[in-house]
Amino acid sequence: MPLSAWVTGRVWRGSLAGVLLRLAPLAVCAWPAGAQAAPAAALTQAQVRSASVAAVVLGILSYARWPGMSADLRLCVLAPTQYADALLGQPQVSAGRKVVSQRYMVDSPGLAHACDAIYTGVLTAEEKRGLYRQLNGQAVLSISEDDPECVVGPMFCLDVSDAQVAFQVNLDSVARSGVRINPNVLKLGRSRAVQR
């Protein structure tokens, strides 16, 4: 998977799977525990994309630290999504922590207290404003699969294609969140950007 990374203003872009694989081996399980991996030819493109997105999301979570971390990591999936299927169902494992995923309504009260991380799909502008207003100042990691601009709101924005799962990082959102992201991810991205 080619690594393409560059820094543009306060947004860092790159192939997270490539970055994470180069940093250290990930203790990531992209398939539900106990599930048998199907032969590659039997997988649909949607299943391949969903599994790739799950691996990237679990990788992001493995490089994040929350204040007062609990044993289990609660991932809340909001809004209609295209690629969240492999994240839902049986608990996953990321960096030795069980990741329990559950769907919520975007306007559910108390999301900031029910979720350590959120994964969003398609949101209207009004839903997006309301959600990030509710999460403002809370230690909640946010990932969006449908935010090509990645300027306001989510910390990580995915760009899913047949070839790879690329991403953008909104550094302002990371700084305001209270969630610490391993700086080696950004450091590696900056060094790759200089080498281009």
* 67-81 pLDDT, tens digit each: 987 889 999 999 999
CA distances (Å), origin 172, targets 86, 150, 153, 155: 29, 10, 9, 8
Query: Please, where are the H alpha helices in 24-150?
Result: 45-62, 111-114, 125-135
192 pLDDT more than 70:
no
SS3 call for 122: coil
The structural architecture, per CATH, of the domain 6-28+45-195 is 3-Layer(aba) Sandwich (3.40)
Average of per-residue pLDDT across 76-105: 92
CA proximity to 162, closest of 78, 74, 75, 46? 46
Quote the CA–CA distance of 182 and 53 in Å, as a whole number: 20
128 pLDDT more than 80:
yes
Quote the CA–CA distance of 70 and 59 in Å, as a whole number: 18
Domain ranges within the chain, ordered by starting residue: 6-28+45-195
Confidence of residue 179 (pLDDT cuts 50, 70, 90): very high
Average of per-residue pLDDT across 23-52: 56
- Per the CB < 8 A criterion, the answer to whether 126 and 79 are in contact is no
Quote the CA–CA distance of 173 and 18 in Å, as a whole number: 22
- Per the CB < 8 A criterion, the answer to whether 47 and 89 are in contact is no
Total-model pTM: 0.76
Quote the CA–CA distance of 107 and 97 in Å, as a whole number: 27
Output the CA angle 1-4-66, nearest 5 degrees. 90
